Amino acid sequence: MSGSTMRAFVLTGPGEGSVQEVPVPVAAPGEVVVDVERVGVCGTDVELFTGELAYLHTGHSSYPLRPGHEWCGRVTQVGDGVDAAWLGRRVMGDTMLGDQECRPCRRGRQHVCEHRQEVGIRGDRPGALAEQLAVPAWSLHELPDPVDEVLGALVEPGGNAWRAAHAAEVEAGDRALVIGPGTIGLLTAMFLRAAGAEVHLLGVTEASLGFARELGFAGAWRRATLPDLPFDSVVDASTAAGSPALALDLVEPGGRLVCIGIAGTPSAVDTRTLLLKDVTAVGVLSGSPGLEPTIAAYASSAVDPRPLVAATVGLHRVAAVLAGERPEGAGPGPKVHVDPRLG
């Protein structure tokens, strides 16, 4: 960062992105500026890079844009009306920025506000793949000392997973199945395990299932090897269009089906089966309501997702990561982090 500009990764079109010098952010009234310390690369960022994200076709997002919504950092500037006590605090922030005026926002559901911005995704709100980031002060969550940079940048995806696990309503001794052993699926499995459930995972590749077993999930299966067991809850964390129907088939009568994965094409679910099995189905969009309990779980070590991070790279490697390149020396985990302070 030099004077009035800073380095940021900017997408300019499908498959086109580079590190650019952009103006440093200034804290508007009610906002803060954060020095970014760590950012997670997410599947949403990949879809922005490829041009496949639905928002690009509905007009909610457009190029050029700066991605990055799984972040943590330290507050270095506050705008008018913001308590100066925020200065120097380690924080992460909510991705979903509602207008604070509509009925959902007034009811604490800013993540479904029709007019929301999404940091690094929607509504021209620049993301965190940069040296600095400006966000509303009300969106901040302070990080306690036990939540380091790695964990801090895993709070946002963790909030999604916490909500999925919470929606499953498992009790000690219940059996749960998670379809899709990616970042969200593995995080969900960790929260389900912390709640006392016997957790199984269903996946496609032996590499992802083997990694799940390394995390202590012995019940990691392919479809052909999945044992005939009763599952009190099934969480679909995959992107396969047929997974919700499969989840409904696998869940026990009277059980719960949670959908947090999203496919690129519509998924068909037979509501007759849903009704006749008396299954409760829940959709999860955002981690917003789950950020505080996720921070608490990380701080207490009830859940430790650090092994999910395979590598940490600088901004200059972001385009390659978005294009699917695996960083040299990367571990087996599904997540790549970015440290904007690296060269």
Residues 200 and 266 in one domain: yes
Task: Determine the Cα–Cα distance for residues 214 and 308; give it in Å rounded to an integer.
Answer: 11
Residues 43 and 19 in one domain: yes
Name which of 160, 169, 295, 300 is nearest 237 in CA terms.
160
Ordered strands of the 175-179 beta sheet: 220-221, 198-202, 175-179, 231-236, 251-259, 280-283
pLDDT of res. 230: 97
* pTM (2 d.p.): 0.95
Residues 253 and 319 in one domain: no
The answer to the question of residue 297 being in a domain is no
pLDDT of res. 2: 63
The answer to the question of residue 189 being in a domain is yes
Residues 32 and 142 in one domain: yes
The answer to the question of residue 38 being in a domain is yes
| Helix, coil or strand: residue 282 | strand
The answer to the question of residue 210 being in a domain is yes
Task: Determine the Cα–Cα distance for residues 327 and 57; give it in Å rounded to an integer.
Answer: 31
pLDDT under 70 in the chain at which residues?
A: 1-2, 343
- Chain centre to alpha carbon of residue 206: 23
pLDDT of res. 97: 97
Whole-angstrom CA distances from 13 to 16, 39, 121, 164 are 5, 21, 14, 33
* Count of structural domains within the chain: 2
Residues 33 and 69 in one domain: yes
Residues 128 and 18 in one domain: yes
Residues 194 and 315 in one domain: no
Asked which of 253, 283, 313 is the last residue of a domain, the reply is 283
Instruction: Identify whether the C-beta of residue 225 lies closer than 8 Å to the C-beta of residue 248.
Output: no
Residues 150 and 9 in one domain: yes
CATH number for the domain harbouring residue 26: 3.90.180.10
Element holding 208 (H helix, E strand): helix 206-214
The answer to the question of residue 295 being in a domain is no
Instruction: Identify whether the C-beta of residue 64 lies closer than 8 Å to the C-beta of residue 90.
Output: no
pLDDT of res. 246: 98
Instruction: Identify whether the C-beta of residue 233 lies closer than 8 Å to the C-beta of residue 169.
Output: yes
Task: Determine the Cα–Cα distance for residues 72 and 236; give it in Å rounded to an integer.
Answer: 27
Q: Residue 54: which domain range? A: 5-154+305-338
Dihedral of alpha carbons 327, 330, 332, 334, sign: negative
pLDDT of res. 210: 97
pLDDT of res. 162: 98
